[in-house]
Each structure stands twice: as C-alpha cells, then as structure tokens.
Amino acid sequence: MIRIILIGYMGAGKTTIGRQLAMTLGLQFYDLDWYIEMRYHKKVSEIFAEEGEEHFRDLERRMLHEVAEFEDVVISCGGGTPCFFDNMDYMNQQAETIYLKIEPEVLAMHLKMGRTVRPLILGKSEDELLQYIKDSLVVREPYYMKAKHILDVSLMDNFEKIAITINLIRERLGL
C-alpha cells in the first residue's frame, strides 16, 4: 500500500508532479481541491466567497481525512492545507509527505504565467505578488518543513526536469 502526499505553495507544481508520479507508479491521483469541488459541486473560490475561510478549512480537513485513507494514491494538497488544525501531523501519520520547495521568485513567475485564476493573488502587480509570496512563506514554511521529504523543484521548467523530479521522488521513497 502506497500513499504519497505532496505539499507546497500554490504554483509549486504539486498537481503536475502528482499526476505524473501517479501515472508512473500506476496509482490513483487526487488533487484535494478538485476532490472538494467534485464532492460539493462548487469551486473552492465559491466556497471561500459564500461560506468563508473558516468553513472551507474545516471542509478541507474533513476531505483530507477521507482521501488520506485511500490506498495506492498520490494526493496533492492546497497550499494552505498543512497550515491548519493538525493536518500536517495527520498527513505524516498517513503517508509519505513531500514538500515541493521552490524559490519565491520562481513561484511568482509560475503564478504570473499560470492559467488558473487564484483568488488570493488576483489583481496584484509583480512586486506585490512577490512580496505576498515571501510573506506567506514566512508563515507557511514551518508547516511545510515538517514533511518527511523536502525536494527543491525551483528548476523544474520542462518535461525532462519533471521526469528527473519523478525519478528523485521514486529514489527517495524506494519505489
């Protein structure tokens, strides 16, 4: 039985790497935000807007406890998931946790070029975005650093480097 949970800041590549890792290992892939949206028939941004962050974080925690019971899975979590309740300790009990660490400047570039609308960064200038990321990481990184494995993915900018990252994860986990 294999359970792998990927954590890290938005734009770090959790979904991209998670999907590829799951395919390579023949496992199911779950993106926690997508799972929540599928279960509740609402976008995460709508839940945030209509119910507030506190309600969303409680819902996120319950859904994390659900998917982290599945077997033979790779799960990518939202950037804030490890930072609430006992989520990080729970993930470490349930799975091999991997923090996809990435430099703030690279995150800013990824988020600026990203196709996904992210409510937390909407309307920010490049300078504001970079400062927001740096400020957020000060708060979030102590949680991220509790992961069993830390992998720097700052240079993961093409398919070849994604494949190298997948192989590094497989080596680290002995898979």
DSSP 6-39: EE-STTSSHHHHHHHHHHHHT-EEEEHHHHHHHH
Note the pLDDT tens digit of each residue in 128-157: 999 999 999 999 999 999 999 999 998 777
Q: Which two tokens stand for residue 103?
A: 């430099």
Cα of first residue to Cα of last residue in the chain, in angstroms, is: 12
Note the pLDDT tens digit of each residue in 2-24: 999 999 999 899 999 999 999 99
Domains and CATH numbers, the chain: 3-163 (3.40.50.300)
Q: pTM above the 0.85 mark?
A: yes
CA distances from 130 to 6, 50, 69, 124, 125 (A): 23, 28, 36, 9, 9
